[in-house]
Amino acid sequence: MVPNGWNETKLGDVIKHQKGYAFKSESYKKDGIRIIRISDTSRNSIHDKSPVYLAEDASESLANYKLREDDIILSTVGSRPHLLDSMVGKAVKLRKQDNGALLNQNLVKVSPKPNVITNDYLFSMLTKSRFIYFISTLVRGNANQVSITLAELFSYKFLLPPYDEQRKIAKILSTWDKAISSTERLINNSKQQKKALMQQLLTGKKRLLDESGKPFEGEFDRVNLSELATIDKSSLGKKTPEDFEFSYISLSDVETGKIAGNLEKHFFASSPSRARRKVNCGDILLATVRPNLKGFAKVKAEHDGMIASTGFSVLTPKKDVSGDYLYHYLFSCHITGQINALVVGSNYPAINSSDVSGLKVYIPCYDEQKKIAKVLNNADESLAQLEQQLADLKQEKKALMQQLLTGKRRVKINSRECVA
């Protein structure tokens, strides 16, 4: 049902477009004019992890491919055909610092036709889950390379309100965008602050106060991890009953600091061969496969008695060792550097149990361990609250978009309310 005053239209009818230029990798430089590639885009934004550039004197004839702040670009090629993972068709809006950058191949800039659709409304429409789903039904190719044609991309149909109503809708949604951006900045700042705090506390550069109100004293001991924790204390053996049922924590179930909520259940007789490590509340999981991804997590009460993959080392803290201190230390630069030096294999990078046992750890007395762990736990709790706040804001915006961009909820324009 088309709301009163709205029209059904195709994407191709309301935009102009410009395809990217096929820059050759041998033309890339370490500085100059930035080239925006598909690999520079993620989650509707540009990132600066590994930018490439073109010499400024080589860009004079490429004026048509220059981008400006707030330009919208879409990818026509991606790496995975899954609905939420594929970059195909995902919209990205250029930032202020991207002004003057050049558009690479397999990306297309879409510009709103004047007085037909606003730039903000166009971007909101392109980030709707309905548009992303539309793209997912058309992509072709294998798991390594999927694509969509411009004709298919521009065939997308959607409901378009009058121009003034578009501007009002975009203004309302921008309030949520500002709140989301502000929360994202707070999260990033909190992560940087925690990182700096860890660097000071876990090396003894900054000492906390003891129970008497005086700074802790004494040197940190440098010991092997095996002196602080038992490694892989218990595993399922061949004599395990075939009907023994358990929840299984696989490598893919653990992200940084988190264990997935919905875990697979297995009977021992038909369980994966890697499902062998017993875990108990208070243990720490350390992924030994692709450890650079930091798949490390604390085992909480709800995971007690579960079985983890042998792709983890299970650390059980010994007496007078704070498990929380040990957990935070796994994310320190000191441990990261050691692991990076030990990793072998390019397709399946990993370390082994003896590597884990030999990792060096600097550790103070037990009381100072607990104090440090409490400070870092508080930092994690504050960060978790901000991340939940961000998730709530994004969900609220998504629900609002669903109402405003379909006409189910109308807005007021110049004291006049648009009604269906």
Q: pLDDT by residue for the chain (420 residues), tens digit each?
A: 788 889 999 999 999 999 999 998 888 998 899 999 988 887 667 888 889 999 887 777 888 899 999 999 998 887 654 444 456 778 899 989 999 999 999 999 999 999 999 999 999 899 888 888 888 888 777 656 778 889 999 999 999 999 999 999 988 998 998 999 999 999 999 999 999 999 999 999 999 999 999 999 999 999 999 999 999 999 999 999 999 999 999 999 999 999 998 999 999 999 999 999 999 999 999 999 999 999 999 999 999 999 999 999 999 999 999 999 999 999 999 999 999 999 987 778 899 989 999 999 999 999 999 999 999 999 999 999 999 999 999 999 989 988 998 888 888 876 555 554
User: What was the pLDDT predicted at 419?
Assistant: 52
User: What was the pLDDT predicted at 79?
Assistant: 64
Cα 53 to Cα 37, 44, 46, 75, 262: the distances in Å are 10, 21, 15, 19, 44
Rounded Cα distance, 315 and 299, in Å: 10
Q: Where are the domains of the chain?
A: 10-157, 221-363
Q: Which of 274, 391, 372, 386 lies closest to 325, judged by CA?
A: 372
User: What was the pLDDT predicted at 140?
Assistant: 73
User: What was the pLDDT predicted at 344?
Assistant: 82
Residues 6+ apart with CB under 8 A from 371: 208, 209, 210, 216
Question: Tokens 């796994």 sit at which residue?
Answer: 330
End-to-end CA distance of the chain: 10
User: What was the pLDDT predicted at 417?
Assistant: 55
Domain 221-363 in the same topology as domain 10-157? yes
Phi, psi of 73 (to 5 degrees): -125, 150
Specify whether the CB–CB gap between 88 and 139 falls below 8 A: yes
Domain 10-157: which CATH number of 2.40.110.10, 1.25.40.20, 3.90.220.20, 2.40.50.100:
3.90.220.20
User: What was the pLDDT predicted at 345?
Assistant: 76
User: What was the pLDDT predicted at 328?
Assistant: 97
Phi, psi of 275 (to 5 degrees): -80, 85
221-363: CATH number: 3.90.220.20
DSSP state of 100: T
The vertex-261 CA angle with 288 and 259, nearest 5°, equals: 25
Rounded Cα distance, 41 and 91, in Å: 9
- Within 10 A of 89 (CB to CB), how many other CB atoms are there? 22
For residue 42, the cross-strand partners are 45
User: What was the pLDDT predicted at 68?
Assistant: 94
